Amino acid sequence: MATTQVQTVNTSGDKAKLAAAAAIVIASLVAYYALSKQGPLFQWLGLLAGLAAAVLVYLMSESGKALVAFGQEAVREVKKWCGLARREAIQMTAYVFGFVLIMALFLWLTDKTLEWVFYDLILGWKK
């Protein structure tokens, strides 16, 4: 049986980058409220600039690099997908709608049956 070893390396520099990104997010939120006297334009610019800086700092960390690599791999896999033909897509959509309709009917019947059992038979609360 093959075992996969997950190896995480968190250096103090990487932890410092993540802490700095979190601090920048907090600072940008504080700046948003501190700039309320300058108007909404400056508030939003300060907030967006701070969040952009936090994202840049995060992307320089190992976690950020792993996220970018995952995104690139996901895009590569999606590009490999050939897609369904129109007929297959319509068939699959019809199957999904049919299943949803059958489940809705089943759940409605179950609800009404339980309502009848509890309220009419057990409790005697006739409507």
Question: Computed over its alpha carbons, how large is the radius of gyration of the chain?
Answer: 27
Contact 47, 29 (CB under 8 A): yes
Asked whether the predicted pLDDT for residue 83 surpasses 90, the reply is no
Q: Where are the alpha helices (DSSP H) in 4-119?
A: 12-34, 40-59, 62-80, 86-115
Mean residue pLDDT across the chain:
89
Distance CA 22, CA 27 (A): 9
Q: Supply the pLDDT for residue 122.
A: 86
Residue 6 pLDDT greater than 60, yes or no: no
Domains in the chain: boundaries: 1-81, 84-127
What pLDDT, on a 0 to 100 scale, did the predictor assign at position 115? 92
pTM value > 0.75: no
User: Is the pLDDT assigned to residue 2 strictly greater than 60?
Assistant: no
What's the pLDDT tens digit per position in 91-126?
999 999 999 999 999 999 999 999 999 998 888 776
